[in-house]
Structure 1
Amino acid sequence: MSVDSIALGSAGLDELVPSRYAVQVGDIEVLVISDGVLPITARTMATNADPAEYGEWLNDMFLPQDVLDWPLNVVVVRSGAQTILVDAGLGVEFPDFPRAGQTVHRLEAAGIDPSAVTDVVLTHLHMDHVGGLLTEGLKERLRPDLKVHVATREAEFWEAPDFSHTDMPAPVPDALRSIASRFLNEYRGKMRTFETDYEVAPGVLVARNGGHTPGHSIVRLASGGDRLTFAGDSVFAPGFDNPEWHNGFEHDPDESARVRIQLLRELSATGEALVATHLPFPSVCHVATQGDVFRCVPAAWDY
């Protein structure tokens, strides 16, 4: 995987704001890429929180009370001869979200040809994780023998999704249903499903943990004594010091809280690095315990 820097402004690919960050996990190369940011109503981040308490949390984090910029990260992993894209971002078909859908451009800026990607791992089938695979400029450049790994329960869920326990803005469920259906129609022949876990490449394990969606999965990297977990949507920014707060996109909010607490306890005990989809870029951090809650400790930038 080439991550050579490109001269500022050349071919319009480089940017003043960093959008990719390299991490080494033993012999495994990891590149965190920002797909951009999405606007999200603040309430969606903590639907069961006391409004006054949540408002105080937003103030403490210097965040607005109405609409937030929600970070959106994907990951490229190289292990052995395989180059693996973990999630694919939003894509460019959503004019209401002009600051997201940047994955294809930022792969190019990092010197990564989409045809070099051997595998795609999808944590789940929400549109901000699969939309990039439906985007002109990316999908036609993917290799014919591409393998797309997704949990069996996730693929089955989106055949007839149940939104009864979610609390999302009104237009979102129809968009989620439409994009997931398109993805399944276009990529069914490339999908490699698994029940509980699957080793995609040496030291790269995708494991279903559920909660956010029935087949939501995380990706665990291990090499040479180093470990890193890409948690997808298991953890959001409020979920460290308020892990029982619900996110409106969670299809089983109570199970999501249980999964989140279990994962954060484990990461706190092991000390391994954490990366997640919707934590501020590059989102590489460690988890510490603070009384009965958790604390996100950002990793020092290595450059």
Structure 2
Amino acid sequence: MSDGQPGPPFEPPLEDFFTPESGVPSEVLRDACHGRSSLTCGYNCLFVNTPDGMAVIDTGLGASFLGYGEYIKPLVGQLEDGMTSAGLSRANLAAVVFTHLHQDHSRGSIWSGELTFPAATAYAHALEVAFWSGTVDLPQAQPHLEAARETIRLFGERLRAFEYEAEVLPGVRTLAAPGHTPGHSAVLLESQGERLLCVGDTFYDPLQLTNPSWATPWDLDLAASIASRRHLLERAADERLMVHAYHLPFPGLGRVQRNGAAFTWHPLTLGMSDSPAPTTEH
């Protein structure tokens, strides 16, 4: 379910995501993007019906957000409208699972100054909670600090700190994906023999599949984020997992295939059947 997806002319420039400081020289980016200059940035929240109740993985930016400029306010904060259309109630949501506590993943749960989902138990990695609760000096973390700390404060005792490889809800298991933030997590969903891998901010654009070593300015540990991306892409390709990518165009669902030492993204659009993709040996 989308919390919003700014389109042209409000799509962010690729050069904001892939910079010389994050290891992508300007000429390398120019040659790789083949004339494309912007990135379609979705905010794809995933609802999961578990035996313990309905859960959501990440919650979007929430309403009345101005952090990226006035233009963004009407373009995000749409999660509640989507829930209403789907017959879901904020009051009945049982759990919120955070891949990490950046504002575009957590603010939707606290944007009004109160809990958006008042009955929900929240889950975030222990390192994530510790990092945002402590002294945060990194400049690239500052825009997210207020929302992260408010999320921790408002959920209080109902925020459960997990470790990697924990089954936080039936069929909902956390996987290691550190680097973007200290406790950044992927989530593996399993039900009736089917699996879905939620990768959070492991990648923002298919360019990071064809260039897995590309990091972004928001990756706090560049080397760790690259290692996590390679590991998850390898697993997704080798196990033919359906993948949920938070920031790819809605609905952010697709599959990953190996292409030599790199990978390719094969999106699943709404209405398509999900037949296994053909494989090619390299």
User: Which TM-score applies when normalising by structure 1?
Assistant: 0.79
> Which one of the candidate residues 185, 203, 214 is aligned to 2:171?
203
Contact 2:5 2:249 in 1 (8 A): no
- In structure 1, the residue matched to 2:280 is none
Partner of 2:132: 158
- Aligned counterparts of 1:139 and 1:290: Cα–Cα separation in 2: 44
Select 1:187's aligned residue among 142, 155, 158: 155
Cα shift at 1:193? 0.9
CA distance in 2, matches of 1:141, 1:267: 31
For 1:217-232, what aligned pairs fall within 5 Å after superposition? 217-232=185-200
Q: Report Cα offsets for 1:222-273 as digits up to 9, x if no partner.
A: 1222111011011221210011011111110111001000110111000010
- Map 1:135-154 onto structure 2 (within 5 A): 135-136=111-112, 139=115, 142-143=118-119, 146-154=120-128
Paired residues of 2:128 and 2:183 also in contact (CA < 8 A): yes
The change in CA–CA distance for 1:141 and 1:285 in structure 2 (over 3 A counts) is closer
AA of the residue aligned to 1:153: L
User: Shift in Å at residue 184 of structure 1?
Assistant: 1.6
Is the strand fraction higher in 1 or 2? Answer: 1
Q: Distance in 1 between matches of 2:214 and 2:231?
A: 15
Measured in 2, the distance between the counterparts of 1:258 and 1:35 equals: 29
Write the distance in 2 (CA, Å) between the matches of 1:181 and 1:141: 17
Q: Distance in 2 between matches of 1:226 and 1:180?
A: 32
1:197 is paired with a residue whose SS is coil
1:75 matched to 2:49:
no
Asked if 1:45 is matched to 2:17, the reply is: yes
Structure 2 regions of 5+ residues with no counterpart?
A: 273-282
Q: Name the counterpart of 1:299.
A: 268
Query: Is 1:233–1:276's contact at 8 Å kept on the other side of the alignment?
Result: yes
Residues 1:268 and 1:161: Cα distance change in structure 2 (over 3 Å): farther
AA of the residue aligned to 1:90: L
Which residue among 192, 213, 229 is the counterpart of 1:244?
213
Uncovered stretches (5+) of structure 1, i.e. residues with no partner:
1-32
User: Distance in 2 between the 1:163 and 1:257 partners?
Assistant: 22
Please give the secondary structure, in 2, of the residue aligned with 1:40.
coil
* Contact 1:163–1:251 (8 Å) recurs in 2: no
1:196 Cα shift?
2.0
2:18, 2:165 → 1: CA distance?
30
Superposed displacement of residue 106, structure 1:
1.4
Indicate which of 232, 243, 253 corresponds to 1:263.
232
Q: What SS is found at the alignment partner of 1:178?
A: helix
* Alpha-carbon shift at residue 162 of structure 1 (Å): 4.4
Shift of residue 211, structure 1, vs aligned partner: 1.3
Cα shift at 1:140: 5.1
- AA at the equivalent of 2:265: C
Aligned length: 259
SS at match of 2:41: strand
Which residue identity is paired with 1:188? G
The alignment yields a C-alpha RMSD, in angstroms, of 2.1
Give, in whole Å, the separation in 1 of the partners of 2:153 and 2:123.
15
CA contact (8 A) 2:93 2:117 kept: no
Residue type at the aligned position of 2:183:
G
